[in-house]
Structure 1
Amino acid sequence: MPPRGSKVATLSRKVLERNRRMFTKDLLSKLASLINPTPQAPKWKSLDVLDQATAHVKQLEQRVEMLEKRKQQLEGSTDETAGMRGSMSTVFTVTELDSAIEAVCSRIGIDSSRVHERLKRLTAGP
């Protein structure tokens, strides 16, 4: 290792610092493009980019919270109405075509092919 204070040590520190600044600038540029992806985006200062990124992350966190609450409300409303006959919504639409019956399921997660098979058995009789 070169002696402290020598020209070689000073040059290597300068090169390291220049590389660090270039790396930081590249990262800030990538961050700015994520926040404002338009090519005509104004050139922001580093602090502005960090402020915008912070605000954007806070908005995303609020949106996640809102969506989670909405999901819980929707899950709760289906659990509450599952046991009540009068307030149940239509789950199946059954249409009779010439010699076939078509069943359309409006709920996600129910295998419509199984429903179709059951309806076939029910309509075929004993």
Structure 2
Amino acid sequence: MGFSYVVAVAILLSSSLIFFGMVYNANLQAELQIREAQQREIEHITEEVETALNVTSYEVRQNGSAYQVTMNLTNTGSVTVALGESTLLVNGTVVNFTFSAPYLFPQGRGHITFDAPSVPFTYELVAQDGYSIYGEVE
């Protein structure tokens, strides 16, 4: 009876070690994923804070029943804005637009061109990092 007791204790101890090793490994992986997510969030917030776009001027031309708008932009922030990945809303509706360059570098200037259904209208340009500028054209 002594030998079976020793074997049972050995099996219980080894299975306990394996179990706690698996639990530790799972917790370690979860902690690493949380830290990576927090780091990505910090980087995203930093990009959004350091992004700044200004509308320097705009030109509105009537094009049939719609209006063609050319909006001049200046990047006054320290983050490059990818105009090709940005979204433009006119009166709350997503519209297609063309841009002078796919990227607007810090202190750079560029323009976007789009069609608006009527004047006055509101616009919102949302950059890839979530930064947005909002305005009204009268």
The structure in which a higher percent of residues are strand is 2
Which is greater in Rg?
1
Normalising to structure 2: TM-score of the pair? 0.33
The structure in which a higher percent of residues are helix is 1
Normalising to structure 1: TM-score of the pair? 0.36
